[in-house]
Amino acid sequence: MSDAAPGRIDPEEFRRLGHRMVDWIADYHRQVGELPVLSRSGPGDLLRALPEAPPEQGCGEAGWDEVLADLDALIVPGLTHWQSPQFHAYFPCNASTPGILGELLSAGLGIQGMLWATSPAATELEQRTLDWLAQLTNLPDRFRAPDGGGVIQGTASEATLVAMVAARHRVAGGRDADLVAYTSTQAHSSIVKAARIAGICDEVDGTTRNGRRTVRFVPTDDNLRLDPAALRAAIAEDIEAGRTPFFVCATVGTTSSGAVDPLPEIGAVLADTGFRDAGGWLHVDAAWAGSATVCPEHQGLLAGLEHADSYTFNPHKWLLTNFDCSAFWTSDPEHLTAALGVTPEYLRNRATDAGGVVDFRDWQIPLGRRFRALKLWFVLRHFGAEGLRAHIRHHVALGEQFENLVRQEPMFELAAARSLSLVCFRLSGPRERANAEGRALLDALNAEGQIYLSHTTLPDPVDQAPRFVLRMAIGAAATTADDISQAWDRIRALAAQIRRAGTEPTA
Ligand SMILES: Cc1ncc(COP(=O)(O)O)c(C=O)c1O
């Protein structure tokens, strides 16, 4: 019987195939701008092309020509190219050379860092890199050791969920309480999703099955920022009715328009309504905009963050760190780990028992965890603070460029103030017509597939009715001023065609 392990890595085979893969990725990035940014695939196209049964015999190294040919022929056409310079649809999802190499290394090492003891370097590199990020973005001291601390979550959605369960633990402990959470009408859908997962509410409108409102969507002001007076009234009403306000999620950079909730005023409301005294928790979600605060000129976005108990932003969106990497800090790790920690016998070990080490399994939903700090470390070392600032400033300048183009064209108007590199715009004129034209424009643009934008609706300041709004979310690492000019020329030409067709209908 052979004693060779069938699944082992043959280092030379890995070297050969690895070099081919790296070449493939390099070529992909060289030509990604020439591919149609939005996949042209229809539903089921790939499913029909793939065999229904798994391969019985492996192809081994010799079969990799075929694997790579299938990658080109079957997989690439089914991709929407998030790294394309003409991807402006959702908030970005930056890849970079150090980010990709960090992912490769993490896979190559194949470690799992659930406990400090299962790879001390994984935990300590994460602590150090998150502390570097806290310094770069000038976070309040309360989020840094020894009182607070940072951890990498998979997504901002997970960050909100863990913050919410920590808040519940702090406010209610084991006792029954009629808990209520608050966020703005413009907050991300992940907030109410977290509340549903945590069992705070059942429905997406923030109610329970028996009709109690346990997540309140607080109205916003004309700039789409959470209205502190409305928050104050909602909390006071709930306290008066015997309910227990326990969690507020404020947003720095909302998904629809990039609005920034007023943290100083929110902090004051929480202090004087009794929310704070009862242990209530403020979480701040800056999933996208937080990356910009590596630049001192954007750190004002976080004014008032000292009122928060937890804060998150996603380096995997706009800070050149490949998905997934959501940075999360809390000033109260004690309640977080009390809410999430479970220690069965098989996870006990000397280092944990002796104290003095952090086991990140207690800071997150899953037990197991990837070595994500490597890619963040590589990114921070490769670009340095200066390189990261240049990256953000480049995109903010492109946002200004696009904003000016919109302002100069009477056919269009801004639908909200530009936020960093996000420009929300719409066709000008009566609402119904402009909404219909906006939809037609987005459909026409995305049908061409060369430039990818997405939309939202924002309330009309006059009567709150929805206005259809195009979102130009600039942030792909490769986007240049030329790409923005080209995108604008195409948007304008299509809008003119749509407008002409609308006023002079053709058969
Ligand atoms: C403000 C905000 N919060 C949360 C999220 C969700 O992010 P994630 O995919 O990391 O859960 C987004 C996504 O765009 C967002 O814009």
Mutate to test the pocket of ligand 1, among 193, 260, 312, 314 (most ligand atoms within 8 A of CB): 314
Residue 99 lies in a domain: no
Q: Which of 251, 211, 212 is nearest to 231 (CA)?
A: 251
Q: Is 91 in the pocket of ligand 1 (CB under 6 A)?
A: yes
Residue 455 lies in a domain: no
* Containing structural domain, residue 263: 111-370
pLDDT of residue 251: 98
Q: Is 159 in the pocket of ligand 1 (CB under 6 A)?
A: no
Residue 144 lies in a domain: yes
Residue 224 lies in a domain: yes
Residue 20, C-beta contacts closer than 8 angstroms, at least 6 positions apart: 64, 68
How far does the centroid of ligand 1 lie from the alpha carbon of residue 261, in Å? 15
pLDDT of residue 174: 76
Ligand 1 atom index nearest CA of 91: 14
Ligand 1 atom index nearest CA of 251: 1
Mutate to test the pocket of ligand 1, among 153, 158, 185, 188 (most ligand atoms within 8 A of CB): 188
- The whole-angstrom separation of Cα 167 and Cα 479 is 40
How far does the centroid of ligand 1 lie from the alpha carbon of residue 162, in Å? 15
pLDDT of residue 2: 65
Residue 428 lies in a domain: no
Ligand 1 atom index nearest CA of 289: 1
- The whole-angstrom separation of Cα 337 and Cα 323 is 25
Q: Is 312 in the pocket of ligand 1 (CB under 6 A)?
A: no
Torsion of the alpha carbons at 51, 56, 60 and 64, rounded to the nearest 10: -10
pLDDT by residue for the chain (507 residues), tens only, comes to: 667 899 999 999 999 999 999 999 999 999 999 999 999 999 999 999 999 999 999 999 999 999 999 999 999 999 999 999 999 999 999 999 999 999 999 999 999 999 999 999 999 999 999 999 999 999 999 999 999 999 999 999 999 999 999 999 999 997 889 999 999 999 999 999 999 999 999 999 999 999 999 999 999 999 999 999 999 999 999 999 999 999 999 999 999 999 999 999 999 999 999 999 999 999 999 999 999 999 999 999 999 999 999 999 999 999 999 999 999 999 999 999 999 999 999 999 999 999 989 999 999 999 999 999 999 999 999 999 999 999 999 999 999 999 999 999 999 999 999 999 999 999 999 999 999 999 999 999 999 999 999 999 999 988 999 999 999 999 999 999 999 999 999 999 999 999 999 844 333
- DSSP-assigned letters across all residues of 262-313: -HHHHHHHHHHSSTTTTT-EEEEE-TTGGGGGGSGGGGGGGTTGGG-SEEEE
Q: Is 326 in the pocket of ligand 1 (CB under 6 A)?
A: yes
How far does the centroid of ligand 1 lie from the alpha carbon of residue 467, in Å? 22
How far does the centroid of ligand 1 lie from the alpha carbon of residue 434, in Å? 28
Q: Is 188 in the pocket of ligand 1 (CB under 6 A)?
A: yes
Ligand 1 atom index nearest CA of 155: 10
pLDDT of residue 505: 35
Token match 């070529």: residue?
A: 27
Ligand 1 atom index nearest CA of 314: 10
Q: Based on the structure, what is the number of domains in the chain?
A: 1
Dihedral of CA 123/125/128/134: which sign? negative
Residue 321 lies in a domain: yes
| Cβ count within 10 A of residue 18 | 13
CATH of residue 349's domain is: 3.40.640.10
Q: Is 251 in the pocket of ligand 1 (CB under 6 A)?
A: yes
Residue 213 lies in a domain: yes
| Cβ count within 10 A of residue 398 | 21
Ligand 1 atom index nearest CA of 159: 11
Mutate to test the pocket of ligand 1, among 152, 185, 190 (most ligand atoms within 8 A of CB): 190
Q: Are 75 and 46 in contact (CB under 8 A)?
A: yes
pLDDT per residue over 272-295, tens digit each? 999 999 999 999 999 999 999 999
Ligand 1 atom index nearest CA of 324: 10
Ligand 1 atom index nearest CA of 255: 16
How far does the centroid of ligand 1 lie from the alpha carbon of residue 269, in Å? 25
Q: Is 283 in the pocket of ligand 1 (CB under 6 A)?
A: no
Residue 41 lies in a domain: no
How far does the centroid of ligand 1 lie from the alpha carbon of residue 161, in Å? 12
